[in-house]
Amino acid sequence: MKKAKHILGIGALFAASLFLISADHIDAPAVQGGSSDITDFYAFQGENTDNMVFVANVQGLLSPAATAEASFDESVMIEFNIDNNGDFVEDLVIQAVPRNGKMYILGPVAPVQTGLSSMLTVESAKDVNSVNITAYGEEAQVSSNKGISAFAGPRDDPFFMDFAQYSAIIAGEASGFNNPGTDTFAGTNVMSVVIEVPKSMIGGSGTINTWVESKRKQ
């Protein structure tokens, strides 16, 4: 009880910085609510266990009505980064760029350069895959080419959490979570990119470090 109050007191001090918890939805002022705001990142073994699936979601908390109007920003690249040797620098990237109703998928390929800037060149464009961006209300359109499957379009936000109660706790208005809790993200959608690749293309075995980035064309 005492401990709980102590936590609450400190928590209240941090309320400003912690108010908007979620997976990565609206995580920072510069990207909050914008077309480059990453909401979530997943990496898991595919239905075919020789494959790895990467999921990046952007533009969170879309109501059904807002989803019908939502689209990928053609100036924003979604880049999956893969580090094979444990130095936290990307050795491979999978890059997704939307254009004219299609999502173009480059890689897995060694990046032209690592770090905060990504350059796409003539070479980058040689082995590009693409998939039609699925419209809201339409059956999922999937492309498969050379073992790589791709999807891009609106999906249910797979994230779940009682964000409202967490906020109440942090604000000092509640003394704990409810049981059962309420999923604040129920009924909301995201814009999603799903790419499945053979594990043999990203190192084959062992452990990778992976993260996703959104990057805007200059």
Binding residues for other proteins restricted to 25-54, rule: CB under 8 A = 25, 27-31, 34, 36-38, 40-47, 52-53
As measured in angstroms, the least distance from the Cβ of 71 to other proteins is 13
Cβ neighbour number for residue 195 with a 10 Å cutoff: 24
Which is it for the CA torsion 43, 193, 81, 84, positive or negative? positive
Residue 172: partners with Cβ closer than 8 Å, 6 or more residues away: 8, 9, 11, 12, 15
| Size of interface with other proteins, in residues (CB under 8 A) | 119
Check binding of 165 to other proteins (CB under 8 A).
Answer: yes
- When binding is defined by CB under 8 A, the residue of 72, 94, 118, 197 that contacts other proteins is 118
Residues 72-101 that bind other proteins (CB under 8 A): 76-77, 79, 83, 87-89, 97, 99-100
Residue 12 touching other proteins (CB under 8 A): no
From 72, 107, 189, 197, residue interacting with other proteins (rule: CB under 8 A): 189
Report the residue number, 20 or 171, with the smaller CB distance to other proteins.
20
What are the CB-based long-range contacts (under 8 Å, 24+) for 39-47?
A: 39/157, 39/159, 39/190, 40/157, 40/158, 40/159, 40/190, 41/211, 41/212, 42/158, 43/210, 46/196
Minimum gap (Å) between residue 138 Cβ and other proteins? 10
Residue 122 touches other proteins, criterion: CB under 8 A: yes
Asked whether 204 and 63 are in contact (CB, 8 A), the reply is no
β-bridge mates for residue 45, sequence order: 52
Nearest approach in angstroms of CB 59 to other proteins is 11
